[in-house]
Amino acid sequence: NAGVMQNPRHLVRRRGQEARLRCSPMKGHSHVYWYRQLPEEGLKFMVYLQKENIIDESGMPKERFSAEFPKEGPSILRIQQVVRGDSAAYFCASSRASGQDTGELFFGEGSRLTVL
Amino acid sequence: RKEVEQDPGPFNVPEGATVAFNCTYSNSASQSFFWYRQDCRKEPKLLMSVYSSGNEDGRFTAQLNRASQYISLLIRDSKLSDSATYLCVARLDSWGKLQFGAGTQVVVTP
């Protein structure tokens, strides 16, 4: 009965490299959300996806960031040409439906990106 | 202006005491509200939903004041294990997008 699985848990990249963060939602969950948490700040919504569809990407930076949730396999958050300001914890969350009934999102343990 | 604002604390609370704190939200169209708990460097977990009439879950009581646009959380008989950061959350959209506050840190001391 695995929860939301994220990997890698820790990732170190040099400026200009690419970072790929993966998220497998809980079994039976078809809705995935990505949030970013900077030190001493709250979680900031980035993107909401269902299988093969981006539903809301209003929180995604306009450049360098992309997300997908293919029919098969995990959701992937991709950051191209990373900069120091991208250093943060990236949390993935999933819900069974749209989370309307309970508002409960189940979070993974996060992927901590450090850009040198 | 942040959409959800919280006093960062820390609130230092003796074990067994009561602690209460609020958060405010800026968007009057917010549909529903929640408290999540986040332990140091861990993932957030749902603590409780907040209903218009106020609700209780064991030692935790949540209140919503729509007129003043604030939500409160009260913890009675604090335990050492209650030490955490409490995240105030507002949902703006029906599909579940959550707006998180930066959190209020609570430290329960022996």
Q: What is the mean pLDDT of chain B?
A: 92
Q: Cβ contacts (< 8 Å) between A56 and chain B: which residues?
A: 93, 95, 97
> What pLDDT score was predicted for residue A26?
93
Q: Using CA atoms, how far apart are residues B9 and A114, in angstroms rounded to an integer?
A: 27
> What pLDDT score was predicted for residue B94?
64
Give the torsion through C-alpha atoms of A35, A111, A89, A4, to 10 deg.
40
- Average pLDDT for residues B56-82, to the nearest whole number? 96
In terms of DSSP bridges, do strands A75-79 and A88-95 run parallel, antiparallel, or are they unpaired? unpaired
> What pLDDT score was predicted for residue B97?
76
For the ranges A5-19, A60-74, B24-38, B86-100, the lowest mean pLDDT is seen at: B86-100
pLDDT of A99 > 60? The answer is no
A to B CB pairs, distance under 8 Å: 66
Q: Are A47 and A60 in contact (CB under 8 A)?
A: yes
Question: Rg of chain A's alpha carbons, rounded to an integer?
Answer: 13
Assess B1–A contact: CB distance below 8 Å, yes or no.
no
Which one of B97, B99, B100 has the shortest CB-CB distance to A48? B97
